[in-house]
Structure 1
Amino acid sequence: MFGSLLKHGLKKGRIHLIDHHGRTASYGSGTPEVTLRLHDARIGWEIGLNPWLKVGEAYMDGRLTIEQGTLYDLMDIGLANTNELSGAWTQALSNGLNRVLRWWHQNNPVGRARENVAHHYDLSRKLFSLFLDESMQYSCAYWPKLNITLGEAQQAKMRHIASKLLLEPGQLVLDIGCGWGALGIYLAKTAGVKVIGVTLSKEQLEVAQQRAKDAGLEGQVEFRLQDYREVPERFDRIVSVGMFEHVGIKHYPEFFRQVENLLKPAGAALLHAIGRRDGPGFTNPWLRKYIFPGGYSPALSEVLPWIEKTGLWVTDVEVLRLHYAETIKHWRANFEKHRAEIKALYDERFCRMWEFYLIGSELSFRYDYNMVFQIQMGRGINTVPITRDYMFDWERKEAERAFPQVPWKEGRAAE
């Protein structure tokens, strides 16, 4: 069954397949080239019927091993042939079913949202410290130059976001999905604002609160274990980074109504999230089951209509291409560097699962449909200036102040 799928769907790259009897067959041509061994009779049928779920499961469980080439090569072939492989009748049926059920998969009421967040973000904080940068930011960095460190790129991300918030000392800022607290602490230190950050992860909350205490910002920065739908205050600014992917499409009206309700009359908000360039879709079944239950990265066409139904103005939209691919490349290198320590925390199956997750994510941003968007919103037509000069001026001035040794000029992705 797996062989039949490869025979009709493999147009780029070459796969040699060794079944559980030791028989070999080859499919496709060119590079990359990999040799796979299937260790039991059932796995070939399972992969043939549902490759987007079963290849990852088989690799995690050791039922599929790679004898020539790398997992990166295998997933590169898979993404290069996505359209052809999806054309098989079994995949068309599976994709159609996933589209029908996506409303249920993304059902995230308050209680279920907390469970879904805990599934991923309440893993050992040591795990995240081993592959993230020193600020513990688990979201797309910003790469004005590619020859800077991951930590510098994450600092550049926070500057880029802050430049769009028009911050003034004393303003009250809400950080929805505050993570381990880096952005809230940065905004408080850099702009003199007061910050309330909310998260549904107990692990993240403990770290964020301790970091605010260590920075001497306890009276200026407050972190809470709270759903954004339960926040009572009103704010001058709202920012959300890497949280919207966990909202679920059926909850978008609720999300943007709450943003509007929480903003003061002259307030502004910035939404930073993973998106897709190819229109409405569904979350990869393996990713949904093992990494981000309830998660979905939307197309802009699924987001903007719900903002239009509020009283908010969309005042700026930016699409970041390749920035997340570069970020995950650094995470993956750090993960492999500390693989033995991570295996001691969990086990080899966990390491293979996260290897599959990180490689697949990097490739989806590098070659497939994923990107990151930033949407700036205001409560009124005059909330922000009518030109974007204020963003560039503030960002460059702050970059030169914070890192005078780095030539902060616009870079190209190819550099």
Structure 2
Amino acid sequence: MSTQPQTDVPAAYPEGAARSPLPFFSRLLTEVIRTGRLTVIDATGRVHPFGPGDSGPDVTVRLCDPLLPLRILLRPSLALGEAYMDGTISIEKGTLRDLLHLCTSNLEALDQHPIGALRGELDRLLRRLQQDNRLARARANIAHHYDLSGALYDLFLDRDRQYSCAYFQTGAESLEDAQEKKKHHIMAKLLLEPGMRVLDVGSGWGGLALEMAQTAGADVTGLTLSQEQLAVATERAVTAGLSSRVRFVMRDYREDQGTYDRIVSVGMFEHVGVAHYRTYFDTLRQRLNPEGIALVHAIGRADPPGSTDPWLRKYIFPGGYCPALSEVLAAVERSGLWVTDIEILRLHYAETLRHWFERFQANRDRAKAIYDERFCRMWEFYLAACEAAFRNGPMMVFQLQLARRRDAVPLTRDYITDWERRDVRAEDVAP
């Protein structure tokens, strides 16, 4: 299904257009669409406009299933995502990104609506069960997403396969440049020096670990629960001639017994689960040398504790959760670690996801050859929905620097910029 405009909105609405076959659904949209315009063509062909239309996207959708309004009323995001995957909703004016931008722009009104408030409270009550990431389940949850075909990820990630928020200093960088800046920004906060022993918790396809060994001369152990990522990362270390300084192992963070000068975790904390936060930070403290530094880079939320979107939880990240800082810092405090720096990256992930979505769309036919049409719809909905959440919702990325000693890092943050500039100069003069 194309997400490009296919037909124009009818110039005149048929008689009775204001009456919906499901009055509660119509009433809900009337109350929550406060910006932009959403025009709904129901299964009988009747047209129902919602929203002031004075600002924001102007989108028209056709509902091909007469029961879809009821499903959306009961579980909006889950029903909308599944309808897009199944083709029971078509976008007749605007694009998928326009539709999701419109939805997330009005998300606050939906959350405040009695139906949304009740649904949110039920999800919060169930969230510990939804985030049960005991060892066996954690492995299964990781495999669900990260053991997909590596060829899929090559279609939309940068050449280093960095599958986390990039770092845009100006916003004009290419995806490759922004991902390189992200790695160097993290290394600067770790104050890496040659010979340091580093633990990379959730090492992905190995890009950061290899960069730390090559650029800073570190000795790195990478932990992963993905067989696919383990094989690729290990091969990359051999090809780069770094296998003596970088090793990747299939191991949960709770199973590691080493001690390290530095610990880094990028894009993994979202898979820990609230019930395991105390264990996670206690483990970091136990694995960290007394003078050591740790850096946790993760997606969080700027609003109070909540739950994972049900569509995202079902189809993309089972067991995943992006926490409020209040939940994270409470666990850090109990662990006895010092919070030595916090940085909030607000729109960086929105820009990253925009790049990913555009690259995926450019390679959509190749993705369909690997999987099928329904998978492609699922994946583009995932990327577009996440971008919209970072642009209009409460989602953000935090970088949390931790240490066992209060004097583990310099008094001011100047050292971060100094390290990055020193590293850039070293690259400039490299042969």
Q: For this structure pair, what is the TM-score category when the shorter chain's length is used for normalisation?
A: over 0.9
Aligned counterpart, 1:409: none
Identity over aligned residues, as a percent? 53
After superposition, residues 276-287 of structure 1 pair within 5 angstroms as 276-287=301-312
1:265 aligns with 2:290: yes
Aligned counterpart, 2:205: 180
1:21 aligns with 2:31: no
Aligned counterpart, 2:222: 197
SS in 1 for 2:243: coil
Aligned counterpart, 2:6: none
1:12 aligns with 2:35: yes
Question: In 2, Cα distance between the equivalents of 1:238 and 1:124?
Answer: 29
The offset of 1:377, in angstroms, is 0.8
In the alignment, structure 2 segments of 5+ residues that lack a partner are 1-21
Counterpart of 2:417 in structure 1: which amino acid? F
Question: In 2, Cα distance between the equivalents of 1:309 and 1:254?
Answer: 10
CA contact (8 A) 2:120 2:306 kept: no
Question: In 2, Cα distance between the equivalents of 1:305 and 1:85?
Answer: 29
Q: Choose the corresponding residue for 2:320, options 287, 295, 318.
A: 295
CA contact (8 A) 1:140 1:323 kept: yes
Question: In 2, Cα distance between the equivalents of 1:391 and 1:19?
Answer: 55
Counterpart of 1:226 in structure 2: which amino acid? R
In the alignment, structure 1 segments of 5+ residues that lack a partner are 405-415
Of residues 105-114 and 302-311 in structure 1, the stretch that sits farther from structure 2 once superposed is 302-311
CA contact (8 A) 2:305 2:324 kept: yes
After superposition, residues 130-149 of structure 1 pair within 5 angstroms as 130-149=155-174
SS in 2 for 1:228: coil
Counterpart of 1:310 in structure 2: which amino acid? S
The offset of 1:91, in angstroms, is 2.4
CA contact (8 A) 1:4 1:48 kept: no
TM-score, with length taken from structure 1: 0.95
Question: In 1, Cα distance between the equivalents of 2:115 and 2:303?
Answer: 22
Aligned counterpart, 1:213: 238
1:342 aligns with 2:367: yes
Question: In 2, Cα distance between the equivalents of 1:161 and 1:397?
Answer: 14
Counterpart of 2:397 in structure 1: which amino acid? V
Counterpart of 1:178 in structure 2: which amino acid? S
Question: In 1, Cα distance between the equivalents of 2:117 and 2:351?
Answer: 32
The offset of 1:3, in angstroms, is 2.2
1:35 aligns with 2:85: no
SS in 2 for 1:140: coil
After superposition, residues 100-119 of structure 1 pair within 5 angstroms as 100-119=125-144
Aligned counterpart, 2:186: 161
Question: In 1, Cα distance between the equivalents of 2:97 and 2:408?
Answer: 46
Question: In 2, Cα distance between the equivalents of 1:41 and 1:293?
Answer: 29
Aligned counterpart, 1:324: 349
Question: In 2, Cα distance between the equivalents of 1:86 and 1:260?
Answer: 38
Q: Choose the corresponding residue for 1:93, options 118, 135, 139.
A: 118
The offset of 1:166, in angstroms, is 1.5
CA contact (8 A) 1:10 1:27 kept: yes
SS in 2 for 1:29: coil
Question: In 2, Cα distance between the equivalents of 1:223 and 1:268?
Answer: 21
SS in 2 for 1:15: strand
CA contact (8 A) 1:50 1:91 kept: no
TM-score, with length taken from structure 2: 0.92
Aligned counterpart, 2:280: 255
The offset of 1:403, in angstroms, is 5.7
Query: Stretches of 4+ moved more than 6 A in 1?
Result: none
CA contact (8 A) 1:169 1:192 kept: yes
